[in-house]
Structure 1
Amino acid sequence: MRDDPENQDTQTDGDQTTGSQTPSPSTVRWLALGAILVVAAGAGALTLRQGDTAPLAKIAAAPIPVTAAFASVRDLPIARTGLGTVLPLNQVDVKARVDGQIQRIFFSEGQEVKAGDVLAQLDPRAYAAQLAQAQATLQKDVAQLANARADEGRATKLTQSGAGTTQAADTARAQVAVMQATVDGDQAAVDTAKLNLSYATIAAPISGRAGLKQVNEGALVHANDATGIVTITQIRPISVQFSLPQDDLPDLLSGQHSAPLPVAIDTRDRSKHLADGNLTVIDSQVDTTTGMVKLKAEFDNQDQTLWPGELVTAQVTERIDRNALVVPSIAVQSGQKGPYIFVVTPNNTVKVAQVTVGQTVGDVTALRSGVAEGDNIVVSGQSRLADGTSMQVTQIGGAQQNVVSEAQ
C-alpha cells in the first residue's frame, strides 16, 4: 500500500522534533568552512610573527661597535699633586732708619731694582751738621790728648832725674788715659754721625721688584713708622710651598736623598703649565692636625710666570716605575669580583679578564696582572659587552675592522 504523503511529512516533522537532532547537511558545511578559516588565520598569524622576528634576530646578531687600544709598556712617573702658594725667597719692607723729610724718590712702582740702588733721599742737612760737630769735638780732644802725652813725657823724665815726684808722673799718665778714652768716644760719635748721614740716602737692600709707593716726596718719615716706603720682592728665583699627605713622606725622602725631585707647576685649575723646578725643602715635622707635610720647591722664574701670593697646583715626581704595563684608564671596569677589562680576541669577540690595578697617572693606569703587552683592550662601548660578544672594532690610530664572526 502506498504511503500517504501527508503522513510522511508528519512523520518527518516528528522525527526532527523528537529524534536525536542530527545536523542538517547545510549546517555541517558552514561548520567546516568556519574551521578552515580559523586554521588559515592561525597560519597567517604564525607566518606574520615569523616574518616580524627575522629582522630582530638579525639585529641581535649584529656586531657591537667598540674602540680598542693596545696595552703597552713604558716608564711610568709616579707623581703627587697638591695645592700650593707662590712665595718669594726674599721680601723686604724698606723703611727709613732715621727721621727726616723725603726730598726725592728715585724708583717707579713695579720697577726692577738691584741691591744698592738709591730708592729715596731724606734731607741730609741735620745729619751733616751733627757729623761736623762730632768731628770738631774729636779734633779738640785729639789735641788735648797730644798735650797730655807731652806732659806725661816731661813728668817721667823729671822723676827719672830725681827732680820730680812719682805722684806727678802717675797723674800725667792717668790724664793721658782719660784723654785717650775721650778721643775714642769722639771717634765713635763721628762714626755714628756718618752712619746717620748715610741713612738719609735710602738704598735697596736686595734685588727685586718694587711694589707700590707707601709715601710720596715731601712726606715726613720716622725710624719707628709701621709703614715703610716701599716693599721689594724677589721674583727671580722664586719658591712654591705646598703640602702632601704624610703617607707620601717615605717616597719623598728616598727620592730626595738620591737627587732633587722635579716639581711641575700648573695653574690652580690645571689648564696651563707654568714652570718646572726642583724640590728644595721637606719640612722637619708633620702637621699633627692635618697629617700633612709641607714642601718647598724653587724655580728660576726668568719669564716671571710665577707671582708671589698666587695659588697654583704643584706636582712632584716621587719616583719612576720602569717598564710598567699600562692601558687607558677608561678601559678599566669595576665589578663584583674586582676590576676587569674587555680583551679583543683574534676573531673579534670579547673576553673578560680580571686585572690587578696599579698606579694611575694622567689618562693611563698600570696593570700588575691579567693582561700582557700587545693585548687589544676595549676602551669604549663596554656597556653592551659580555663574554663572547661579537664586535666591530675601531682601533685607536688604525682603520676599522669588519667583523664577520657570529656570537659564540
Structure 2
Amino acid sequence: MSKRKRKAQMNVVTAILLLVLGITVVPNETYGNPTLYYVALNGNDSNNGTSLETPFATINKAVSVVKAGDTIFVRGGTYKLTKTINPTVSGTAAARITLRNYGSEKVIIDGSIVNEGKAGSKVIRMDNIAYWTISKIDVTRSPGMGIGILNYANNIRFEDLNIYNNGGTGLSIENFSYDNYINGVNSYFNYDEPTGGEHADGFAVKAGSVRNTFNRCKAWNNSDDGWDFWGGGQSQITKSEAFRNGLDAFGNPYPNGDGNGFKLGGHSAGGWSGNNTIRTSVAYDNLANGFDWNNASLKNMVYNSTAYNNNRGNFSYAYNFRFGNDDIIRNSISAGTGGVRLADTVDHSHNNWNLGLPDPVFASTTPGTKNFLYLTANSPYIDAGTTVGLSFTGKAPDLGAFEYGAEWR
C-alpha cells in the first residue's frame, strides 16, 4: 500500500473516532488534520504515541507534543505524576486541544508525589494559554491546588471532572484569567491541612479574573468555602450546589475554614470583587452562610435559588460603608435554619420572606435524594415569582432553584 493511501486510511479512522466520542474539530490551513495521541500505563514515552499499540506512558509527554486541533486520549488507570501537567501551547477557537479519557475508561491523576510532594504544587497548571478542553478525569491528592487556571488563561473548558482530596482549592481561576467554562465538575474534600483549612475552596475566582461560567457544578465538604470570589467576579453560576462546606466527612468543623456555600466577594485594600450572577442554585448544610455577600464592592444578583439549613445564615448581606451595595435577590427561598440577614440597600422582592408565604413543604428534605428541595404539586410557591429572564412553566416563575415540572437535577 502506498504512503498516500495509508495516510488517507488513517485520516478516515481519526474522523470516525472523533465522531463516536463526540469531539468536533475543524481543520484549518495553519495546522491541517488533527493528530490523535494516546497515553497508557503500559506505554513508553519513546513511542510515537499515535496509536493504541504505541502509546506514551505519561500525560506530560503527550502535552509536550500537541498542537492546535489535536486530541490526547488517556487509557484507564491511576497515573502518579512526578511533574505538574503544564501545557505551553494553545489551541484556537476553530481547533481546540483536547485532553480526555479514552472511551468510558476511568482515569485518575494522582498528584501525591508531584514535584516530590513540594508544598503548593498543582496537578494541572493552565498558565497563559487558551482553547483547551479537559474532560472525564479525576484529579486528586495534589500537595496544593488540584487545578490552577492562571495568568490570563482563557477559553478553557473543564467538563465532567471529579476533583477531591487535594491540599488546596480544587479548581482556582486566578490572575486575570477570563472566559473559562466549568461544566459538570465536582470539587470536594479539599483541605489545606497546614493552615487548618483556611484556603481550600471547592472553586475560586480570584485576583482580577472575570467572565467565568460554572454550570451544573457541585462543591461539598471543602475546608473553606464552596465558591470563593475574593478579588474576582463578573461571573455566572447556574444549576449548581454547595453543601456541607467547612465540615469534614464526620460533620466536624475544620479548624480554620470559613464554611460558606457561595462567598460572592472579598478584596484587599484598593481591590474589587462581585458582580456575579447566581441562578437556579442551592446552598445547604454549610457551616457558615449559604449565600454570603462578604464585602463585595460590586453588586451581586441571585435569582431563583434555594438556601436551606445553613448554620449561620441562608442569605447574609451586610451594608458596605465604603461602596454601598444594591444587590438583587429574586424568586428565592430561605428555609430551615439560617434565616435572612440583609442590609436595607439590598433590592429583594418576590422571595418567600417577602411574600408572607408559609414554610415550604418540599418533596424531600433528605440530602442525596433526587427530589431533595423540589416543590410539591400543591405548593403556594408555584407561580409566585416574577419574570427574571429564566424559562418557566405555568403562569409565572416558581420560587426556588427547581421549577415544578422542569427540575434540572
Give the TM-score normalised by structure 1: 0.17
**Larger fraction in strand:** 1
- Which fold has the larger relative contact order, with Cα–Cα distance below 8 Å and residues 6 or more apart in sequence? 1
**Larger fraction in helix:** 1
Instruction: Please identify the structure whose Cα radius of gyration is greater.
Output: 1
Give the TM-score normalised by structure 2: 0.17
